[in-house]
Amino acid sequence: MLLWAGLGNPEPGMARQRHNIGYMAIDAVARRHGFSPWRRRFRGEVAEGRVGAARVLALKPLTYMNASGESVQQAASFYRIEPPCIVAFHDELDLAPGRMRVKRGGGAAGHNGLRSMDRQLGTPDYWRVRLGIGHPGVRERVLGHVLGDFAKVDQDWLAMLLDAVSDAAPLLADGLVEGKPEPFMTRVALLVGG
């Protein structure tokens, strides 16, 4: 079983914020692949389904971004899922809007959700689907940018990216088993036109 965690904040007023693109991505995957209805468990919301040949537990931590790892750790511990079978879908300032990269391990790069996961799992050795939201240009504007809602001009690329991620998700599920995320990244890039 794989554990795919979409990182975000649970308040309804935060639903359209850039910081919640991880929630948006995991929702898109669950819809596209006919997952079970969401239910509360592990201090989050979970849904189960199949993506390609893999059984996937989708998780949206309700612990707020800064404590995401608490929910992820509980689910991983219950199902005995090791870090290499865990994927965090999260916002990435250092990628242009609409771009996506996948990597395993590495630093948190100032992302508090990843920091929390590193702390709770005891290792950074899990996969990250980094969803580009762009950088506002100066450090002083980062917080407002991340916690700001997506603008109208963002809606087209956002919908295209979320559709591409959900459409190509079977390549992610199959690729991570072999440690090869490249086919997934390539397919998403083709679908978003870049």
Sign of CA dihedral 113, 118, 120, 121: positive
From 19, 33, 111, 145, active-site residue: 19
**In whole angstroms, what is the distance from residue 108 CA to residue 114 CA?**
5
Residue 29 CB-half CA count within 13 A: 33
Cβ neighbours of residue 30 closer than 8 Å, sequence gap 6 or more: 38, 47, 49, 58
Give DSSP secondary structure letters for 58-85. EEEESS-GGGHHHHHHHHHHHHT--GGG
Q: Which H or E run contains 32?
A: helix 21-32
How many angstroms separate the CA atoms of 20 and 149, rounded? 9
Whole-angstrom Cα distance, residue 95 to residue 27? 21
19 is annotated as an active-site residue: yes
Instruction: Please name the residues in contact with 32: beta carbons below 8 A apart, sequence gap of 6 or more.
Output: 166, 167, 169
The catalytic site residues sit at 19
